[in-house]
Amino acid sequence: MEFIKRVIALVFLLLLPALVNANQNHEKKTINIITNNWTSQIVLSQVTGEIFKHMGYPVKYLPSSTSDQWGALSHGLGDVQVEVWEGTMAGMFNRMVKEGQIVNAGPHSATTREEWWYPDYVEEVCPGLPDWRALKECSSQFQTEFSAPFGTYFSGPWEKPDAARIRALVLDFKVKVLKDGDELWRVLKAADKIKKPVILFNWTPNWVESVYAGKFVEFPDYEPDCETNPSWGLNEAFTHDCGNPKGGWLKKAASNQFADSNSCAFRSLRLINFTNRQIATAAALVDVDEMSYQEAAEAWIKANPQVLKDWVPKDCR
Ligand code: TMO
């Protein structure tokens, strides 16, 4: 008996350093931050990465589309996504949180809107805008080779069923899906140069509002029922006869394993909280001032040094 006790004690002593070590490694495991394909999200990801690094965590960035990010988070390949927008991602986000596949790491104070948008000069050829009904009369103004005789609506690769809205509101438009934010701005810039009518997806907060005068189209006000109940709204037969939410939320998402660790990094993620102005500024550093994402993140932190305190839990500083 005495012998067995000694063996157990010895084994324990031998294992102890490994146990302690494993615990430390667990604390400072590499954090995989998911980056999407529009500017503010990438800059905010890098700001978040800098804050994690400040606490001693190794950080990696994992580029992903918004549709692939849910799988990456639920399988623990990605740990963090810092910009989940209500207008384009509420459906998947709410479902994944409800099913316990990902964790809601809390909201930013920023409010958001994602919607069809046009530069102000379009109002000359489409009187009645921003009321969506004006589009019924002027769709041919937005004709391109791709959509003729219908108008083209340029969208990004995010999860919004524009085709369903076009069908429900009986609009003569075809959706041209572009690959990322940069392609949208190329279309806007080219059209604006020769004042050609153009209508495209845009959002706020964004840098665009600081450079181009324009407006969102006002569709019928959003209500959740609009997306699930066909009899809701103007069209009794189809869902999606409404616009996207105004004053929408912006949230952070985490993987279960990241949240379960309850580490300094997860608690920091919960504290991270950007305002509209901070997000628009972060995007403008790249899209107006032409910095790299990394340079923009560093410049942003330099201009907002208090975040290294405010967004780091006291016991982790
Ligand atoms: C998700 N986004 C801000 C591009 O609409």
* DSSP result, 234-271: S-SS-S--S-PPSSB-EEEEEEHHHHHHT-HHHHHHHH
Average model confidence (pLDDT) across the chain = 94
Asked if residue 201 has its Cβ within 6 Å of ligand 1, the reply is no
Dihedral sign (CA 231, 234, 238, 244): negative
- 76 Cα–ligand 1 center, Å: 23
Which atom of ligand 1 has the smallest separation from the CA of 156?
4
- 67 Cα–ligand 1 center, Å: 12
What gap in Å lies between CA 66 and CA 35, rounded to an integer? 9
- 66 Cα–ligand 1 center, Å: 9
- 21 Cα–ligand 1 center, Å: 41
What was the pLDDT predicted at 20? 47
**Ligand 1: which of 65, 200, 203, 274 to mutate, judged by most atoms within 8 Å of the beta carbon?**
203
What was the pLDDT predicted at 122? 98
The protein residue whose alpha carbon is closest to atom 4 in ligand 1 is 38
Asked if residue 203 has its Cβ within 6 Å of ligand 1, the reply is yes
Alpha helices in 39-174 (DSSP H): 39-54, 66-74, 86-98, 134-138, 162-168
Task: Please list the pLDDT of the chain residue by residue as tens digits (317 residues).
Answer: 676 667 556 555 555 545 444 444 455 899 999 999 999 999 999 999 999 999 999 999 999 999 999 999 999 999 999 999 999 999 999 999 999 999 999 999 999 999 999 999 999 999 999 999 999 999 999 999 999 999 999 999 998 889 999 999 999 999 999 999 999 999 999 999 999 999 999 999 999 999 999 999 999 999 999 999 999 999 999 999 999 999 999 999 999 999 999 999 999 999 999 999 999 999 999 999 999 999 999 999 999 999 999 999 999 99
Give the CA diameter of the chain.
95
What was the pLDDT predicted at 25? 46
- 119 Cα–ligand 1 center, Å: 18
Asked if residue 156 has its Cβ within 6 Å of ligand 1, the reply is yes
Asked if residue 115 has its Cβ within 6 Å of ligand 1, the reply is no
What was the pLDDT predicted at 23? 45
Asked if residue 114 has its Cβ within 6 Å of ligand 1, the reply is yes
**pLDDT digits 0-9 by tens, 227-263:** 999 999 999 999 999 999 999 999 999 999 999 999 9
Nearest to 85 by CA among 247, 294, 296: 247
Asked if residue 86 has its Cβ within 6 Å of ligand 1, the reply is no
Which atom of ligand 1 has the smallest separation from the CA of 37?
4
Taking CA atoms, 45 is separated from 83, 121, 205, in Å, by 8, 35, 16
**Torsion region of 311: left, alpha or beta (phi above 0 gives left; psi -120 to 50 gives alpha):** alpha
**Tally of CA atoms within 13 A in the half-sphere of 43 that contains its CB:** 27
What gap in Å lies between CA 235 and CA 112, rounded to an integer? 26
Dihedral sign (CA 93, 98, 99, 105): positive
The pTM (predicted TM-score) of the whole model is: 0.89
Residues in contact with 73: Cβ distance below 8 Å, sequence separation at least 6, in sequence order = 34, 79, 81, 96, 101, 102, 253, 254, 255
- 43 Cα–ligand 1 center, Å: 14
What was the pLDDT predicted at 21? 44
User: Per the omega criterion (within 30 degrees of 0), is the bond before 149 cis?
Assistant: yes
Which atom of ligand 1 has the smallest separation from the CA of 87?
5
Query: Which single residue is written with the structure tokens 């400072």?
Result: 28
- 22 Cα–ligand 1 center, Å: 39
- 38 Cα–ligand 1 center, Å: 7
